Amino acid sequence: MAKKFDTNPLDPEFPEKAKAAAASSYEAPQKTRFSTSEFPSAPASITEEETRRFSDSDFQAYSYAHAQPIGLRQPTDMADMNRASERKVAKTGVPEKWLIGLPYLPFSIGLVAGLILLLLIPKEESKVRFHAAQGLAAHVGILIVTSILSIVGNVTELAGVGSVIFTIITTIMLVIFAIKAWKGKPVHIETVDDLTNWLDDKIGPIKT
């Protein structure tokens, strides 16, 4: 029996009894169909290899379609724009690859060839006309520079030397352009863009 001033009147064995009662009444939780430890397994017919399979042709098509920004993508028929062709051009009977290289030949050969092609080739032959106009524009630009250097050369010998060097350099460049055009590689002379467009527009084929 507890004393009058006992500050702990509870049964000394109460903690042990409470633990025993709790242990006897505890039941392990039952698994439900919503248990996070179980997930539906993938069908046996689908393998990891099948989910990763992506053919080379599909990959190349996807890469090409997304490689260029919207607005800069070119139509498919432009892929062969710079490819050398054995196709014979109308009104000439000469293979295309020879005609696009002629206007870049040095000296007066390319200049005369470019002018003749612009007068003969129809507007539909845009590639041949472009190279004819660009080759002619390049020759005109070279003639202008060499004429200026020749005039200045009458005053100082330094300009005469510069004219010789300029002629050698431009001759080599024209030969390189002719070979590149003949092989179907792109040739773009940015400094004569405006003159090229003007010549192509103003010099049309002669009507027969």
Size of the chain, expressed as the number of residues it contains: 208
Q: 3-class SS at 37?
A: coil
Domain ranges of the chain: 84-202
* Residue 62: predicted pLDDT: 42
Residue 97: CB partners within 8 Å, gap ≥ 6? 84, 85, 86, 181, 182, 183, 184
Helix 126-153 vs helix 157-183: angle between axes, to the nearest 10 degrees?
170
Residue 141: CB partners within 8 Å, gap ≥ 6? 191, 192, 195
pTM for this one?
0.59
Distance separating alpha carbons of residues 175 and 101, to the nearest angstrom = 9
pLDDT tens for the 208 residues of the chain, in order:
444 444 445 556 666 766 676 666 555 555 545 444 454 555 555 454 444 454 554 445 444 444 444 333 333 343 444 455 788 888 888 899 899 999 999 988 999 999 999 999 999 999 999 999 999 999 999 999 999 988 887 777 777 788 889 999 999 999 999 999 999 899 999 999 999 999 999 999 988 6
